[in-house]
């Protein structure tokens, strides 16, 4: 049975690797220091021996030079020719100079002669003893050189040299012996130090063996045992690992061992996996797998490299592979850790597809929102179609497009908008019969049509030739419909052969529906405008009938009466009737001016209140009646479309005041509440409301005012009584006021 895992707490105390390293560094440092010290002492000894031998040699030479100086003085005194005198004189000069330099070098040092000048006290004392003799010999020799032919000077010089030579030689002998004794003492001292260093080095080596090598040997033995135990533990962990693991022979790249998870992954028993080549499951033909084999050949570490494996049934397995090199059972092997990511990658691909689908839908929604926002803006039919084609061309990379609408009268498709289309195409296909070509068939069937390769279309289809001649290779015809009715066709052209994807086709059909709704709404608006014009003409006819037509009828009657009076010769009656005719003409003139002002009303969004004030000012100037205008803080005049009708009603009410009320003042008020109330009140004579209702209200324009109020969603109320004035109130729902751009609610009321 394999031994249990061992933990540091179960082991005997031992020196750590760091402690052994520290001791080893200290020992090596001591040995290095001792080695350097020995070398330093050896070099110092050699240097001292060189200097000492040099000093001893030069000191011994001083004795020889002193003797040579003495002999040369004898030779000089016995010379019998000038040449001999010159030769001995030169020898004496050279010997004396060398003797003096050597003496000074021995005392004070001379780098050129290799003399350190470092003398002991004993040597200096000996030099002090011979110094008088040295100076005497130098003085005598210099005197001989100064007077070589003077016999008396020569004799005294020779005597001086002889007198001091013996003492100088004895002193130099002592100095030489002293130099020799001091050199031997240095050698003995250096030898003692070297022996001590050698002994200390041996001691350090013994301590190193005891304190470092012995613990290190024991540590290595224990570590080897630990490695053996850990290999066994690794085998247990290898077998029990939840991750598929393989042990690979790095040289053969064959499987040495595998755990149960690897067996399940490759659908083979462990026994059949062993000795199987790695290439059987890790195919080299995959690029990522090839890189793994290259890294294994270079002994590189592989960390979570994505690879493609094949199991025993050749099923594809996507995995992450990690490789480490270890020693197992005493042999270097590669450990392959495998993480199966097949399901993860499948989920990633599904997510990517879903994300792509979401992105496509977002782009489609964005385009739909842009198109819808554009279609919501007020514009004409051609401008709407043109703007939509431009947006489709930018967002869907369309090379050209046309919008054709059905003309039911001629059963043709008429081009109403085009974008980036050649003029020749527009001229040749300005009108297209229903049922012909791609667009005509789409208009009849109401089903989208796509031609993915126009150059391959049959040549006998004439109208497709126009597409080919203009360089288009593909086209898509989308019906423009509203409810169940096809209003037209939107055709998109592409210069590269392509197919329109299903989602693109759905998007274009949705845009076709939006466009169809907008075109239908524009048609409805056009029809509403035509109806409004018709209704306005009817109101105009009524107003003309109530004012000018009645006045003209009155004038016609008065003219007949005038003619009768003139025929009968009744001049006074004719004059009275002529005055009535003049009054009727003035009345008609005033009515015409009033109608002209009435029909020229134009109201901007921000000028409704000013328009009311302006109307009151003109009324006051024409009639002389006092006017006033006031507005409560929450009173809001409706938007301009409704306000025009409001001002028409106001003008009609003022006209009735002028014609029938016999008033002196008129007040217009605007107040808020659940409903907006616009009241025109006068202080005139009033009338019997019940009698008016019984006889109808068309004679005084009440019917016209009620009709205008109905058209803007309001109603008209009358308050009057004989002798108590009249108040005409227009009541409008609050929602009209909320859409208003009229009077600022914060402005104070005033006339």
Bridge-based pairing of strands 302-310 and 485-494 is unpaired
Q: Write a three-state SS string for 177-236.
A: HHHHHHHHHHHHHHHHHHHHHHHHHHHHHHHHHHHHHHHHHHHHHHHHHHHHHHHHHHHH
Q: Does any domain span residue 280? A: yes
Query: Which DSSP helix (H) or strand (E) runs through 559?
Result: helix 550-568
Pair (370, 500) in one structural domain:
yes
- The answer to whether 308 and 318 have CB atoms below 8 angstroms apart is yes
Q: Return the bridge partners of 729, or none.
A: 679, 717
Is 55 in the same domain as 161? Answer: yes
Is the pLDDT at 606 greater than 70? The verdict is: no
The CATH code of the domain that includes 316 is 3.30.450.20
Residue 377 lies in a domain: yes
Confidence band, pLDDT 50/70/90 cuts, at residue 681: very high
At 148, is the pLDDT very low, low, confident or very high (cuts 50, 70, 90)?
Answer: low
- Cα 709 to Cα 743: distance, rounded to the nearest angstrom: 20
pLDDT-derived band at 628 (thresholds 50, 70, 90) equals very high
Nearest to 231 by CA among 336, 333, 338: 333
387 in the same domain as 313: no
Residue 695 lies in a domain: yes
Among 216, 251, 280, identify where a domain stops.
216
| Pairing mode, strands 431-433 and 412-419 | antiparallel
How much is the pLDDT for 271? 86
Q: Which of 340, 362, 379 is the last residue of a domain?
A: 340
Q: Could you tell me if residue 124 is inside a domain?
A: yes
CA angle 389–393–394, rounded 5-degree value = 120
206 and 282 belong to one structural domain? no
> Model confidence over 3-21: pLDDT tens digits?
433 434 344 445 676 777 7
The structure tokens 């025929």 sit at 567
The reply to whether 182 and 255 lie within a common domain is no
pLDDT tens digits, residue range 693-706?
766 544 557 877 88
pLDDT at res. 149: 63
What percentage of the chain exceeds 70 in pLDDT? Answer: 79
pLDDT at 330: 64
Task: Give buried/exposed letters for 355-378 (b at 16+ CB in 10 A, else e).
Answer: eeeeeeeeebeebeeebeebbeee
Does the residue 69 lie in any domain?
yes
**For position 409, which CATH number holds?**
3.30.450.40
CATH number, domain at 663? 3.30.565.10
CATH at 125: 1.20.1420
The whole-number pLDDT of residue 550 equals: 58
- Both structure tokens of 619: 């009324």
Helix axes 121-146, 151-208, angle to 10 degrees: 150
Kindly state whether residues 333 and 365 are assigned to the same domain.
no
Nearest to 425 by CA among 455, 396, 464: 464
Strand partners, 718: 728
Lowest mean pLDDT among 153-167, 649-663, 719-733: 153-167
| Strongest mean pLDDT among 303-307, 394-398, 417-421, 600-604 | 417-421
Residue 209 lies in a domain: yes
Q: In this structure, are 377 and 504 located in the same domain?
A: yes
Do 73 and 162 lie in one domain? The reply is yes
Q: Read off the pLDDT of residues 497-537 as tens digits, 9 standing for 90 and up.
A: 877 777 778 888 888 888 888 887 877 776 766 666 666 66
Give pLDDT, residue 743.
35
Residue the block writes with tokens 């096809």: 486
617 plus 511 within the same structural domain: no
Closest CA to 629 of 612, 646, 641, 644: 612
C-alpha 296/C-alpha 277 separation (Å) is 14
Q: For position 241, what pLDDT does the model report?
A: 78
- Short-list 347, 285, 281, 343, CA closest to 318: 343
Q: Is 592 helix (H, G, I), strand (E, B) or coil?
A: helix
Query: CA 491 → CA 401, 437, 695, distances in Å?
Result: 6, 12, 63
pLDDT in tens, 451-478: 766 655 544 444 466 787 788 888 888 8
Domain end, chosen from 299, 316, 340, is at 340
Whether the per-residue pLDDT at 295 is higher than 80: the answer is no
Q: What pLDDT was estimated at residue 597? A: 57
Residue 627 lies in a domain: yes
**Same domain, residue pair 309 and 406:** no
Whether the predicted pLDDT of 667 surpasses 90: yes
Bridge partners (DSSP) listed for residue 307:
319
Same domain, 197 and 83: yes
Determine the straight-line distance between the first and last CA of the chain, rounded to whole angstroms.
Answer: 114
What is the per-residue pLDDT for 311?
82
Q: Is the pLDDT of residue 413 over 60?
A: yes
Spatial CA neighbour of 406 closest among 379, 433, 437, 375: 433
pLDDT tops 70 at residue 75: yes
Nearest to 377 by CA among 514, 506, 483: 514
Contact between 474 and 452 (Cβ < 8 Å) = yes
Q: Does 571 map to a domain?
A: no
On the question of pLDDT at 727 being above 50, the answer is yes
Identify the weakest region by mean pLDDT among 404-418, 440-454, 690-704.
Answer: 690-704
Domain holding 695, by residue range, is 601-738
The percentage of residues in the chain with a pLDDT greater than 90, rounded to a whole number, is 3
pLDDT of 243-265, one tens digit each?
A: 888 888 877 888 888 888 888 88
Residue 268 has pLDDT above 50, yes or no: yes
Overall number of domains in the chain: 4
CA distances from 511 to 382, 477, 516, 525, 697 (A): 16, 12, 8, 21, 52
Query: Crossing angle of helices 381-395/342-376, nearest 10°?
Result: 160
Greatest pairwise CA separation for the chain in angstroms: 209
665: confidence class by pLDDT, cuts 50, 70, 90: very high
DSSP for residue 483: T
- Look at residue 685 and tell me whether its pLDDT is greater than 80: yes
The CA distance from 677 to 729, in Å, is 6
Mean pLDDT, all residues of the chain: 77
Of 417 and 579, the one with more pLDDT: 417
The per-residue pLDDT for range 99-126, each reduced to its tens digit, is 888 888 888 888 888 788 788 888 888 8
Q: In this model, does residue 620 exceed pLDDT 80?
A: yes
302 and 376 together in one domain: no
């Amino acid at each position: 049975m394999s031994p249990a895992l061992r933990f540091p707490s179960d082991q005997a105390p031992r020196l750590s690797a760091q402690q052994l390293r520290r001791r080893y560094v200290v020992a090596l440092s001591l040995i290095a220091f001792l080695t350097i010290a020995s070398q330093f002492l050896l070099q110092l000894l050699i240097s001292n021996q060189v200097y000492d031998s040099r000093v001893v040699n030069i000191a011994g030479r001083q004795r020889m030079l002193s003797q040579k100086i003495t002999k040369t003085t004898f030779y000089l005194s016995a010379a019998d020719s000038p040449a001999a005198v010159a030769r001995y004189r030169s020898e004496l000069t050279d010997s004396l100079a060398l003797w003096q330099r050597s003496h000074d070098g021995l005392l004070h040092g001379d780098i050129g002669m290799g003399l350190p000048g470092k003398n002991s006290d004993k040597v200096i004392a000996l030099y002090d003893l011979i110094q008088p003799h040295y100076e005497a010999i130098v003085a005598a020799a210099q005197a001989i050189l100064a007077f070589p032919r003077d016999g008396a000077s020569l004799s005294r010089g020779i005597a001086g040299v002889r007198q001091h030579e013996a003492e100088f030689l004895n002193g130099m002998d002592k100095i030489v012996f002293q130099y020799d004794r001091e050199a031997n003492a240095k050698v003995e001292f250096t030898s003692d130090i070297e022996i001590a260093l050698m002994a200390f080095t041996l001691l350090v080596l013994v301590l190193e063996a005891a304190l470092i090598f012995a613990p290190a040997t024991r540590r290595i033995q224990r570590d080897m045992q630990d490695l053996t135990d850990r290999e066994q533990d690794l085998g247990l962990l290898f077998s029990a690992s939840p991750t598929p693991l393989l042990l690979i022979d790095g040289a053969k790249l064959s499987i040495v061992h595998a755990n149960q998870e690897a067996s399940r992954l490759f659908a083979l028993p462990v026994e059949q996996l062993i000795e199987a080549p790695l290439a059987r499951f890790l195919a080299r033909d995959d690029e990522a797998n090839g890189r793994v084999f290259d890294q294994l050949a270079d002994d590189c570490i592989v960390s979570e490299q994505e690879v493609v494996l094949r199991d025993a049934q050749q099923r594809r397995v996507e995995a992450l592979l990690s490789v480490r090199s270890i020693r197992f059972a005493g042999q270097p092997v590669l450990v392959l850790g495998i993480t199966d990511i097949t399901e993860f990658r499948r989920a990633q691909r599904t997510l990517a597809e879903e994300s792509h689908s979401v992105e496509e839908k977002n782009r489609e929604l964005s385009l739909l929102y842009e198109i819808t926002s554009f279609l919501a803006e007020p514009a004409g039919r051609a401008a709407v179609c043109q703007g939509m084609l431009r947006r489709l061309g930018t967002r869907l990379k369309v090379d050209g497009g046309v919008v054709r609408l059905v003309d039911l009268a001629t059963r043709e498709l008429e081009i109403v908008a085009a974008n980036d289309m050649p003029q020749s195409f527009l001229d040749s296909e300005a009108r297209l019969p229903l049922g012909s070509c791609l667009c005509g068939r789409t208009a009849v069937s109401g089903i989208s049509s796509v031609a993915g390769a126009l150059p391959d279309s049959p040549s006998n289809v004439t109208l497709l030739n126009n597409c080919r001649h203009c360089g288009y290779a593909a086209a898509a015809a989308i019906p423009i419909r509203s409810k169940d009715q096809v209003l037209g066709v939107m055709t998109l052209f592409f210069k590269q052969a392509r197919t329109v994807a299903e989602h693109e086709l759905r998007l274009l059909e949705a845009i076709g529906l939006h466009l169809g709704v907008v075109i239908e709404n524009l048609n409805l608006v056009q029809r509403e405008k035509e109806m409004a014009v018709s209704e306005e003409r009817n109101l105009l006819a009524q107003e003309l009938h109530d004012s000018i037509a009645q006045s003209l009828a009155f004038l016609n009657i008065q003219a007949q009466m005038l003619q009768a009076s003139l025929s009968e010769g009744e001049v006074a009656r004719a004059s009275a009737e002529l005055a009535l005719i003049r009054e009727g003409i003035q009345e008609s003139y005033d009515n015409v001016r009033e109608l002209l002002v009435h029909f020229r009303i134009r109201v901007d969004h921000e000028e409704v209140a000013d328009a009311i004030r302006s109307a009151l000012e003109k009324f006051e100037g024409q009639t002389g009646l006092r006017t006033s205008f006031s507005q409560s803080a929450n009173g809001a005049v409706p938007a301009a479309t409704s306000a025009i009708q409001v001002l028409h009603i106001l003008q009609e009410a003022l006209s009735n005041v002028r014609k029938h009320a016999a008033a002196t003042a008129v007040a217009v008020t605007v107040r808020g509440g659940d409903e907006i109330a616009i009241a025109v009140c006068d202080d005139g004579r009033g009338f019997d409301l019940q009698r008016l209702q019984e006889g109808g209200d068309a004679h005084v324009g009440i019917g016209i005012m009620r009709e205008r109020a109905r058209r803007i969603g309001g109603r008209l109320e009358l308050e009057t009584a004989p002798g108590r004035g009249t108040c005409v109130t227009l009541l409008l729902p609050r929602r009209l006021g909320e859409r208003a751009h009229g009077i600022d609610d914060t402005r104070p009321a005033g006339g």
